[in-house]
Amino acid sequence: MIHELHLKQVGPAPQFDVRFAERLNILTGDNGLGKTFLLDVVWWALTGTWAGAPAWPQRGNGNTSISWTSKGAPQRPGRKPQAWIAPIRQGYGIGMA
């Protein structure tokens, strides 16, 4: 279980810190505010893979970081960075005959 999530220069906000409740967390808000992004980052923290297109670092700042607290101990990614290339660029897109 992830207890806290800390993002810096990743996604829709310069910094984003979340403390999760023990049992139930409800995400609400208008479109484009980062609800799905938050779920994608939690998925990545737990599995090491992106559910879809990755959360790209914001331009102009090299101090990007993602960390989380799990089992009472702070965690940082210990995985190799992943690249995402649009399937259409690799020739896997759906074509018209």
Domain ranges in the chain are: 2-90
Q: Which two tokens stand for residue 68?
A: 């989380």
From CA 21, how far away is CA 58, in angstroms rounded?
28
Query: Does residue 33 surpass a pLDDT of 60?
Result: yes
User: Counting Cβ atoms within 10 Å, is residue 91 exposed (0-12), middle (13-18) or buried (19+)?
Assistant: exposed
- This prediction's pTM: 0.50
Q: Which two tokens stand for residue 37?
A: 């992004």
pLDDT tens-digit series, residues 69-94 = 777 777 776 655 555 555 555 554 44
